[in-house]
Structure 1
Amino acid sequence: MCLTSDLTFFDTANCYAHGTSEEFWGNAIKNNIARDKVVLASKVYFNDGHLSKNAVNREIDGTLKRLGTDYLDLYIIHRFDYTTLIEETMQALDSLVKSGKVRALGASAMYGYQFYNMQMCAKDNRFTPFVSSARLSQ
């Protein structure tokens, strides 16, 4: 595969092709582009435990290993988790930012009020807020 410096943003997920998408991008980047010249994003949700603290911590480690990097530029929750308390999810994500494993947080595929509630939880608890959102519904 030939990548050029024109490609700078790579978005994948822990569930795409059972993780092999992350491996593919990790190898392609490692062999072609300096890590500090790209923005890496990945998503989490479709796994055992969805967005629970244990699941988030387990999944980020797998993602980083498959991508062959120490950190993600953007970690996106793929869906709203109806089975985990918002506070637990936001605290788990915040700990990833504070540990240096993740630089920024994003959210996808949820209702606007759910995104708002998660942002308010971050604000009220001084957790890291989301900096991006995609596919919010009314």
Structure 2
Amino acid sequence: MTLGVAHAEGPRAVLDALLEVRPPFSPAAVVADFVGLLRQYSIDRVVGDRYGGEWPRERFRDLGIQYDLSDLVKSDIYLACLSRLNSRQVELLDNHQLLLQLRQLERRRGRSGKDIVDHPPKGHDDVINAAAGALVLCVADEGGAYSVSPLIM
């Protein structure tokens, strides 16, 4: 499970925190840890994917955090983040997994002609997904701290 927290500084997006918990773990305990970090940043809402069904939404809600489903698919998040990275509008953390997963992303043309960005076969992208999602959404939200929590990739 991963959690990224970012905030906007004008047109720039700054990644403030990034947590990754690898299996084996208790999902309920991880959500509780995530909520602890979110409270440190005075965040009461996360945006995440549909992985895990209703369970993550219920667990976050039980702990006082609103969990909204992302309108963006990860390819759209990556493409938006890439544009911001190339224009130096993003400040990343010095995190080995983040930088490794960012470098390993592959861009290809999908069947419909739309670009698809994803990790290579047998690769992972949960850390870059959480970071990129938080960075893209905090600027789209026009300021304030924002977090994204793609769960169990």
Q: TM-score range by the shorter chain?
A: 0.3 to 0.5
What's the TM-score, normalizing by structure 1?
0.33
What's the TM-score, normalizing by structure 2?
0.31
Which protein has the bigger strand share?
2
Which protein has the bigger helix share?
1
Greater RCO, CA 8 A, separation 6+: 2
